[in-house]
Structure 1
Amino acid sequence: MTWQGVNVTESAQWLTLPDVAERLDLSIIKVNQLIKDGLLLAVSRNGVRQVPAELVANDTVLKHLPGILTLLHDAGFNDEEALRWLYTEDDTLPGTPAAALGGDKAREVKRRAQAVAF
């Protein structure tokens, strides 16, 4: 699946904000606050704000995602650019930073996001 030229893996699913609220057992207002605070990433797809499902795992936001989003936003990235960075293939990880966040490479992704800021 692609989103504005970004290859979001074929297995990736997108969640609407009400779906995220249900998965996290939060109100939609709290989900919107997570997004506003930069703790979760949502982009508009076909006029509907959505979140890549793999960024919400085990009924919580991925552990390192808020810190990585802060680093990317501090580097001047908007949400769309942050999504593009998270889903750009990196052979040295291997895979994408988004996929690596769910595994043992999460700290390496964080280091790379720090390097982008400089």
Structure 2
Amino acid sequence: MTEISRYDTAWLTLPDLVELLDEPLGRVRRLLDENYLVGSRRQGALRVPAVFIVDGRPLPSLRGTIIVLHDAGFDDDETIDWLLTPEESIGVAPIEALLAGRKSEVRRVAVSLA
């Protein structure tokens, strides 16, 4: 079985996010708690895909998409995997579509996963 290629991105730790977002650690944790960002502990320390940050802020369309995926039963790791893995019905990885302003299309597909 071949592995599905995923969107290639760097991963940011909490200290990286504090510096990049120019926000205190408490605010960065709130961004995670309130679904503005989503992270993974698969490699030890909590890490967030760098592609989720645009112009020093969380990608605006990300929060609603994360909420839709969580409502569909996805955990944080599954949410990240779905966002970074090419989705046949969209034609690209969902994060690429969000970056291109295709929020409605991405959310429509995410809702259908429930």
TM-score band by shorter chain is 0.7 to 0.9
Per the alignment, residue 90 of structure 1 pairs with: 87
Q: How does 1:34-49 map to 2 (within 5 A)?
A: 34-49=31-46
Native 8 Å contact 2:7 2:85 kept in 1: no
Per the alignment, residue 17 of structure 1 pairs with: 14
How many angstroms apart in 1 are the aligned matches of 2:101 and 2:65? Answer: 15
Gaps of 5+ in 2: none
Structure 1 residue runs of 4 or more that deviate by more than 6 Å after TM superposition:
none
Q: How does 1:69-108 map to 2 (within 5 A)?
A: 69-108=66-105
> What is the total number of aligned residue pairs between the two structures?
112
| AA partner of residue 109 (structure 1) | V
Residue 18 and residue 6 in structure 1: after superposition, are their counterparts in 2 closer, same or farther (change >3 A)? Answer: farther
TM-score, scaled relative to structure 2? 0.86
Q: CA deviation at 1:7?
A: 4.2
Q: Percent identity?
A: 35
**What is the SS of the residue equivalent to 1:44?**
coil
TM-score, scaled relative to structure 1? 0.84
Per the alignment, residue 58 of structure 1 pairs with: 55
Two-structure CA RMSD over aligned residues (Å) = 1.8
How many angstroms apart in 1 are the aligned matches of 2:83 and 2:68? Answer: 12
Q: CA deviation at 1:39?
A: 1.9
Larger RCO, structures 1/2 (Cα 8 Å, 6+ apart): 2
Greater share of strand residues, 1 or 2? 1
**What is the SS of the residue equivalent to 2:35?**
coil
